[in-house]
Structure 1
Amino acid sequence: MEIIEADWTPPPGVHACVTTRCGGVSQPPFDHLNLATHVGDDPEAVAENRARLRASLALPSEPLWLNQVHGVTVTDERSATSCSGECATADAAYTDQPGVVLAVLTADCLSVVFVSADGRELAAAHAGWRGLAAGVLESTLARFKALPESIQAWIGPSIGPEQFEVGEEVRSAFMAVLPEAQTAFAPTGEAGKYLADLPALARQRLMRAGVKRISGGDLCTVRSPDLFYSYRRDGGRTGRMATLIWRHAQSAPTCDIE
């Protein structure tokens, strides 16, 4: 199983990483480590992939899997632990408890994980362009007791700025909130078409909210077919990676690449 560790410096005992498509049992077009149950993959294969993930990372609990809808709702383990599978309809999750594993699933959309300076508060958010424009990152930050300037964020793999062609409606949605968002859109030469830089847009929104320590956002899902699923590249029929964050009560090994 190939796991990519977040390239940041979190407080002791906090771990964050993103899976790749390597190391599971799913068959094409979901090969191999698809972790989503909603994409048409064999449920037994997904269950085996999730079991392998938990064992490989020695996770302290089953991840809090979400039913993601490109919205701004933030949930926590207290409202979801009595359910099974993708029980909570939300696009972000927050916890201030050790042993709770937060997870979001992506295949081009952004994943963003958060940690407070003391390591006690964690969050993970799924941010496609709709959720990002609507304020899912801001909604996630609002759940923290810690001030934004003391929160660190890491941006996971997503569709890159040279691959994500959008229309004027996407550009306008971001500029309506933050006029400087225009710098994250490059005209393609075709009227009303732009290449959008999702990681740059996320950084702008995070900085506007007061977050000063932001890393990641440099891995393109479209350009790495051997590592990542990509909804756009693969014609909409593909698997999903998981971005995870959790805190141990005591220090434990980080997400190693096996």
Structure 2
Amino acid sequence: MNFILPEWPAPTRVNAVITTRIGGVSRGQYSSLNLGAHVGDDPVAVTQNRASLQSALKLSGEPLWLQQVHGCDVVEREQASAGCEADAICATTPGQVCAVLTADCLPLLLCDRLGTRVCAVHAGWRGLAGGVIEAALRRFDCPGDEVLAWLGPAIGPERFEVGGEVRKRFVEQNSEAEAAFRAVSGNHWLADIYLLARQRLAQCSVGFVGGGQYCTVSDPKRFFSYRRDGMTGRMASLIWIDPD
């Protein structure tokens, strides 16, 4: 398997990993490490991929896989059930793995500087505009500057074309969002989802923000991309606290 490890000043007890599409058993459009059970892949292959991931990372238990709906609901890992509708998941109990699935949307990993709380966030443009980052940060019992954030692989600013209504929604909320959009033709714009997220994190005074250098659409060898392929798999972004 091929993983991306965040480069951030997280405490050593916090583990964070982002998968690529490399290292699984799925075939065709889902080749090869597809971890999404909702995208039309062979369920047996997905189960095997998930088991292999758990083994490779030496996880004490399987991640709780959410039913992501591009909303702003945040759940606690210790209280949530598999398949619950939410787009962010937090945990304070060591060994409880938080995970989100993506294939162009932005995966965001959060932890506090003491390593007492972690969170995984699925942030497409609808979730960003709706406040999913702010909702996740409200689960942290500390000032924003005590929180660390890592932006995982998402659609890059040269490939994320949106309509004028998307730009309007962000700019109406914050005029600084204008810097994240570049006109291309008619009422269409290229959007920088990384910058939009960084702006929101800055407004919440988050102390460290890293990542944000990938483009899922432009790197078919490493990343699934819904915008590029339509029918495709999903990568996972996972974060957990080491068991005591």
Q: Do both share a fold (TM > 0.5)?
A: yes
Q: Kindly indicate whether residue 199 of structure 2 is the aligned counterpart of residue 199 of structure 1.
A: no
Looking at structure 2, the residues matched to 12 and 175 of structure 1 have their Cα atoms a distance apart, in angstroms, of 38
Percent sequence identity over matched residues? 50
Of 155, 168, 175, the residue aligned with 1:179 is 175
Q: Distance in 2 between matches of 1:172 and 1:79?
A: 37
Shift in Å at residue 9 of structure 1? 1.9
Aligned partner letter, 1:171: R
Q: 1:246 — aligned with what?
A: 240
Contact persistence 1:60–1:248 (CA under 8 A): no
| Offset, 1:210 | 1.4
| Conservation of the 8 A alpha-carbon contact between 1:122 and 1:245 | yes
Give me the TM-score of the superposition, normalised by structure 1: 0.93
Residue 106 of structure 1: CA displacement? 0.1
Aligned amino acid, residue 53 of structure 2 = L
- What's the counterpart of residue 52 of structure 1? 52
| Aligned residues of 2:13 and 2:241 also touching (Cα < 8 A) | yes
Match of 1:93 among 89, 92, 98: 89
Q: SS at the partner of 2:216?
A: coil
Shift of 1:245: 0.3
Which residue in the other structure is 1:116 paired with?
112
The structure 1 residue matched to 2:143, chosen from 124, 143, 147, is 147
| Partner Cα distance (1:249, 1:153) in 2 | 21
Structure 1 residue 212, shift from structure 2 partner = 2.5
Tell me how far apart the structure 1 counterparts of residues 223 and 32 of structure 2 sit (CA, whole Å): 10
SS in 2 for 1:29: helix
Residues 1:129 and 2:125 are matched in the alignment: yes
Mapping of 1:204-215 within 5 angstroms? 204-215=199-210
Give the structure 2 partner of residue 228 of structure 1. 223
Structure-2 separation of matches of 1:232 and 1:99: 34
CA RMSD of aligned residues (A): 0.9
Task: Answer whether contact 1:125 1:140 (CA < 8 A) is retained.
Answer: yes
Matching residue within 152, 156, 163 for 1:160:
156
Q: Which segments of structure 1 move beyond 6 Å, counting only runs of 4 or more?
A: none
**CA distance, structure 2, for counterparts of residue 53 and residue 98 of structure 1:** 18
- 1:27-76 deviations in whole A, cap 9, x for unaligned? 11100000000000011100000000000011122111100000000011
| Match of residue 22 from structure 1 | 22
Q: Is the 8 A contact 2:77 2:97 kept in 1?
A: no
Contact 2:72/2:127 (<8 A) preserved: yes
- What is the CA–CA distance in structure 2 between the aligned matches of 1:196 and 1:156, rounded to whole Å? 16
1:176: how far off? 1.5
Q: Measure, in 1, the Cα distance between the counterparts of 2:86 and 2:169.
A: 21
Instruction: Name the counterpart of 2:214.
Output: 219
Please say if residues 78 and 93 of structure 2, whose CA atoms lie closer than 8 Å, have aligned partners that are also in contact: no
Q: Deviations over 1:71-109 (max 9, x none)?
A: 0000112322xx4xx421100001111101000000000
Q: Say whether 1:78 aligns with 2:87.
A: no
Residue identity matched to 1:222:
V
Q: CA deviation at 1:213?
A: 0.6
For 2:199, give the aligned amino acid.
Q
| In structure 2, C-alpha distance between the alignment counterparts of 1:246 and 1:229, rounded to whole Å | 23
Gapped regions of structure 2 (runs ≥ 5): none
The alignment covers a number of residue pairs equal to: 244
Tell me, which stretches of 5 or more residues in structure 1 are unaligned?
A: 251-258
The 3-state SS of whatever aligns with 2:170 is helix
Take 1:78 and 1:55, find their aligned partners in 2: how far apart are those partners? 21
Would you say the 8 A contact 1:159–1:220 is kept in 2? yes
Q: In structure 1, how many angstroms separate the alpha carbons of the residues matched to 2:186 and 2:217?
A: 24
